[in-house]
Structures are given as C-alpha cells and as structure tokens.
Structure 1
Amino acid sequence: MGSTRRSFTDEYKANAVSLVLDDGHTIAETARNIDVHEMTLGKWVKKERDAREGQREPDAPLTETERVELDRLREENKEVKAENAHLQMQVSFAKKVATWFAKEQQ
C-alpha cells in the first residue's frame, strides 16, 4: 500500500510563506492551519528568505525584525563591554596587590 505524494501550486506555497514572513505567524502554527508538515513549510520559508536576501541591496533600510535584533545585540554588546571593563579593573588590582606582596616578601 503506497502513499500518494501531495503537490502544491506555486501560488499556494507563496500564500503559505506570506503568512509566516509577512503576517508574522509561526511556521508551526501555519503548518497546522493549512495541514502541511512543518518541515515542508519550513523549507518553503527558507527558500523565500534566501531569495529575498539575494534581492536586497546592502544599503537597504532594515526590516522591523532586523531593527529589533540590532537593538538587542547593541544592548548585549554594551553589557558585555561593561562587564569586560569591570573584569579588567579587577585583574589590574590583583596585579598591583601581587606586586605589593612580592615587594614585601623581599
């Protein structure tokens, strides 16, 4: 007993991908709603994302999602730099203390 493979029109795929990329629905949610396997829809979405990235100019304005990610990364970078500066101060202090103890031992 063999299974039949379903086929989808390009228009159907484009509408499904649009629900994810343009309307903000998740792949899992959309796949359940249209009765398509998550992996199948995920492949369609990846293919369209790659195609959109290829068409986009390097100097094009950021999308809302990219802007949010950029802001999150900038904030994370600022926190990491502050932590790094604090750790460098601790290392510098530890070196001074070690030098002072070494001089006292002589």
Structure 2
Amino acid sequence: MAKKRKTYSREFKVETVKLITEQSESVSQVALDMGIHENTLYKWIRELSAKPEAAFPGKGHMISEAEELRQLKKENERLKMERDILKKAMAIFSQDQK
C-alpha cells in the first residue's frame, strides 16, 4: 500500500525556517524534533530566501507567472487543434469541387 505524503501549511513551514534562521537552531536538530527530513528543511530555506512572498503557494496555487504560462500553453493547444480541423475541412471541400 502506498504511503500518504505529509503536507504542511505555509505557516508551519515559515515558522520552522525561522527556528533555523533566526533562532540559530541547527537543521539536524530541528529535523529530528519535527520528524522532517533535513533535505526538506534545506529546500524550505531556499524557497523562502529566494521569494519570501511567493514561497509555499499551497496545493493548486501556482505563482502568477506559472499560472499564466499554463493558461497560454492550454490556449495554444486549443488553437492548434482548431487550425488542424480547419485545414482538414478545407482539404475535404476542395476535393469535392474538382
């Protein structure tokens, strides 16, 4: 049976990173106390230091640039499909007229 992945709230992640950065706790000690892998804590520290406001957007909440890119890719696929349908329709109608 598959293990269910633990999820943590944004507030929990921010407070955990503050323990390490502001209160000078060691990463290994915090990881042991919280039951979180050290690499996960290092990742949280990198995310929070790179983009404090956009860090930990949550499940299904992408940052605005990523969301816009996703929407544009989706629209591009739809337009390509419509173009291909029109090309096929033109080919069919042009054969009938000959």
TM norm structure 1: 0.46
Q: Give the number of the structure whose alpha-carbon radius of gyration is greater.
A: 1
Query: Whose relative contact order is higher, 1 or 2, with alpha carbons under 8 Å and at least 6 apart?
Result: 2
Between Structure 1 and Structure 2, the one with more helix by share is 1
